[in-house]
A and B are shown apart, each in its own frame.
Chain A
Amino acid sequence: MDTGKSVGIKNRIRTITENPKFVNSTRGMKADFKKLLIKVFSFVVIVGICYVILSPIIGMIVSSFMSDSDRYNPMVYMIPTSPTLEKYKISWARMNYLPTMGRNLLYSITLMLIQIFICSMVGYGFARFRFPLRRLLFACVVVMIVIPDHTIMLPLYMTFKNFDPLGLVSLFAGKPLVLMGTPIPMYIMTIFGCGVRSGLYIYIFNQFFRNLPKEIEEAALVDGAGIWYTYFRIMLVNAIPAVVTVAVFSMVWQYNDTFYANLFLISENIVISKKITTLQSVIANVDKILDTSIQELYLSAGVVLIMLPIIIIYVALQKYFIEGVERSGIVG
């Protein structure tokens, strides 16, 4: 009764303040004008910044469709007069696109799955179990995020150049393994929770699991589910936003990573982004296209080709992803 009355009053107030019929005092108009000004201002700023972000991408896409004559014609701006797919064809062939991209996606996706699995496990362990040294060990996770990769690059290089953990390999094979030039070091590091930005993912999962209600697990435990069953079938399923976030992040960063790819000398037949750095000189040497501004067109076609899968994945997962970032751990 009482609340109904107050709602009625509120509505009346709202009609008075928001209905333009009632707002004819100069003060109301001033406020309206101010609001409009702010709206216009924020619109302009947002559109401007979107333009700054998008313009290089648009420029790249446009120039990848340009033919040679378009390039030499100063009148051509934004819309090529005679668009062609020739640049794509040659870049496609020179990068050996499909097989390389297939290998690269296989590499990034398997690593992504391992990351999700291991990091969620570790994050869960930190979030839900009490054990001695827990706080200290979690501080180590933060240290892992903070320490730049290049501090540890030399020992990693040395380790994987003659891979011989605890002397086991030389015990069986007679000599240490050389893992340089293969993606195996990356897999080993990721399995042991030290892959590309694993610390961050552990942190995200930890924050997310901490915010989940404990009752779910308790119910599962009472119903007789073991700890591992609870983790796989209940907690991981509930952590979908965090999983999507980590999946996109790890996929993208793994795909774009050149630091580890260079450090472990992973072949450019597996990591396609290594090919883009040499694409221009390959085109110059193989196809005898010597005008640098024409070479640039091929390069932008190559860049578009390389970015394509990532963009598709991002657009497909975008909605869940932004939500996931907001709901899951990054914000503690």
Chain B
Amino acid sequence: MKKRLTLSQKRMINGYLFILPWLIGFIFFYIRSILLTTQFSFSRLSVETVGGYTLDHVGLQNYVYAFREHGTFKQILTSSIFNMVLDVPLIIFFSLFMAILLNREFKGRTLVRAIFFLPVIMNSSAIATALRLSEQFVAGGISAGSSQMSTETVSSTVNVSYYIDLFGQLALPNRVLDYIVAAVSRINSIITASGVQIVIFLAALQSIPSSMYEVAKIEGATAYETFWKVTFPMVMPHIITNVVYTVIDKFAESDVVTLAYNTAFTTEFNYGLSSVFSLVSTAVTCLILILAVGFLQKRTFYYN
């Protein structure tokens, strides 16, 4: 009666066995959780002392509250998105540039690569919080912002506003100028945020077959042309990878996440509202990801 399984059937079952732990986890922790979060966002949740919770269905009330009454949600959401949109192209260009520099042969290359990856290793939000706190302590709470600015202008020997004026006189559009100034002032956060991206681009650059460069050289292409006609199209698929990674990474540490966490666990204990914040911000991020990937995918050349 017992039917013997064919090899492919056996392998099928084994395949399921291999992914089984993850599958259970995914269904239990992710699918169930997302459904629950959605349910929470439509209800008022009250935690009972014995354990467990009760849900009262309140319809769209949480959403209406978040968008029409809550004091800071909209500002924080827009500023997070704006920061993300500002940072992502900068990080991508910076890391591509650095990867090209690091891809050359020079002495101490491994050391420099190790240093470039250090910020990823040391990226501990606990330590960042501690340092920020202590800065506030030193500067004295509320006055921290202004005193910091004043020390900066005193200590820096470069008169920044002079250069800004100079660029202004070059008749650069104000928007562009603002963007450049913002970019330069963010250089620190951009460098620390692009460790993984640099490594990905480095790997991409090394996977480009050298015969392509030889052909380009024989055909008489200049370095500039080689970059735009060979290097850039070949790393384009990895630009998508990096955009996705950067968006997720930036989003995970944005203020919306903190707001959602605080609303649930420290300030208001309003779980429904927190779910709304989480869901809305996730939806926005996914939308940005889909738009960006769709936009880039059309322009991407796949070698294989």
Identify the A interface with B (CB < 8 A): 42-43, 45-46, 49-50, 52-54, 57, 118, 121-122, 124-126, 128-132, 134, 137, 140-141, 143-159, 161-162, 165, 175-176, 178, 189, 191-194, 198, 202, 227, 231, 252, 255-256, 258-259, 262-263, 273-274, 276-277, 279-280, 292-293, 295-296, 299, 302-303, 306-307, 310-311, 314-315, 318-319, 322, 325-327, 330-332
How many residues of B sit at the interface, in one of the four size bands?
A: 35 or more
**Interface residue B301 (Cβ < 8 Å from any Cβ of A):** no
**Interface residue B159 (Cβ < 8 Å from any Cβ of A):** no
Given contacts A152-B33, A162-B52, is CB(A53)–CB(B115) below 8 Å? yes
**Interface residue B29 (Cβ < 8 Å from any Cβ of A):** yes
Query: Are A193 and B191 within 8 A (Cβ)?
Result: no
Query: Are B244 and A129 within 8 A (Cβ)?
Result: no
Q: Mark B255-276, 1 if CB is under 8 A from A, else 0.
A: 0010011001100000100110
Please, how many angstroms separate the alpha-carbon atoms of A132 and B102 in the complex?
Answer: 43
Residues of B188-242 whose CB lies within 8 A of A: 188, 191-192, 196, 199-200, 202-204, 206-207, 237-238, 241
**Interface residue B58 (Cβ < 8 Å from any Cβ of A):** no
Query: Are A129 and B286 within 8 A (Cβ)?
Result: no
Query: Are B26 and A57 within 8 A (Cβ)?
Result: no
Please, how many angstroms separate the alpha-carbon atoms of A330 and B281 in the complex?
Answer: 26
Residues of A within 8 A of B300 (CB): none
Number of A-B contacts (CB under 8 A): 251
Query: Are B53 and A292 within 8 A (Cβ)?
Result: no
Residues of B within 8 A of A277 (CB): 126, 129-130, 133
Nearest to A291 among chain B residues (CB) is: B138
Residues of B within 8 A of A145 (CB): 248
Please, how many angstroms separate the alpha-carbon atoms of A141 and B30 in the complex?
Answer: 11
Query: Are A49 and B133 within 8 A (Cβ)?
Result: no
Q: Mark B110-126, 1 if CB is under 8 A from A, else 0.
A: 10111111111111111
Query: Are B191 and A53 within 8 A (Cβ)?
Result: yes
Query: Are A273 and B16 within 8 A (Cβ)?
Result: no
Contact of B138 among A126, A292, A327 (CB under 8 A): A292
Query: Are B15 and A150 within 8 A (Cβ)?
Result: no
Query: Are B19 and A125 within 8 A (Cβ)?
Result: yes
**Interface residue B289 (Cβ < 8 Å from any Cβ of A):** yes
14 contacts between A and B (CB under 8 A): A53-B115, A129-B14, A140-B26, A146-B286, A147-B30, A148-B281, A150-B257, A154-B40, A322-B110, A325-B199, A325-B200, A326-B199, A326-B202, A327-B203
Query: Are A310 and B25 within 8 A (Cβ)?
Result: no
Nearest to B15 among chain A residues (CB) is: A129
Residues of A within 8 A of B18 (CB): 121-122, 124-125, 129, 231
Contact of A193 among B25, B37, B206, B289 (CB under 8 A): B25
Query: Are B271 and A154 within 8 A (Cβ)?
Result: yes
Given contacts A130-B11, A151-B37, A154-B264, is CB(A52)–CB(B23) below 8 Å? no
